[in-house]
Amino acid sequence: MSKQPADRTELLQGTLDMLILRTLLFGPSHGHAIAKHIQRTTDEVLQVEHGSLYPALHRLEKKKWIASKWETAKDKNREFKYYRLTHDGKKQLAVEESKWKRLAGAIACVMWPAEEG
């Protein structure tokens, strides 16, 4: 059983899609490795459950932002479905990053307004 922090953050669907696309920018990866990358790089704050990850991967594949291919593991006992970012996925990632920066900036203005005077 894994340790679940009390302040674990839930991801919005669009945010998860963006994080998956960003993770695949580094190269092809299988689903479990994508989830672990997001978890590791956020110091365990974001934990992507399989029930959210795989529907997101299928959704991104349907939109042609990622492509997948089954590959045999080095031990030849298992196959993994590897996902890679497509050209359209790279373009969409740029769009999503731009929207995210704008949204984060707007929220920051409300949360930490500049001092007047």
Summarize pLDDT for 46-91 with one digit per residue, the tens.
999 999 999 999 999 999 999 999 998 777 788 999 999 999 999 9
Strand, coil or helix: 65: coil
Query: Cα dihedral angle (96, 86, 66, 77), rounded to 10 degrees?
Result: -140
The reply to whether 59 falls in a domain is yes
Instruction: Judge whether 95 lies within some domain.
Output: yes
CATH number for the domain including 96?
1.10.10.10
User: What pLDDT sits at residue 103?
Assistant: 92
CA distances from 114 to 34, 106, 107, 111, 117 (A): 37, 12, 13, 10, 9
Strands 79-85 and 29-30: antiparallel
Cα(101)–Cα(71) distance, rounded to whole angstroms?
36
Is 117 domain-assigned?
A: no
User: What's residue 1's pLDDT?
Assistant: 39
The residue among 4, 69, 71 whose CA lies nearest residue 39 is 4
Specify if 37 maps to a domain. yes
Between helix 13-24 and helix 31-41 the angle, nearest 10°, is 100
Are the C-beta atoms of residues 34 and 68 closer than 8 Å to each other? no
Kindly state whether residue 85 falls inside one of the protein's structural domains: yes
pLDDT of residue 43: 94
What is the pTM assigned to this prediction? 0.83
> Average of pLDDT values for 6-29?
82
**Count of structural domains, the chain:** 1
- Residue, of 13 and 31, whose pLDDT is higher: 31
80, part of any domain: yes
Domain enclosing residue 97, as ranges: 13-111
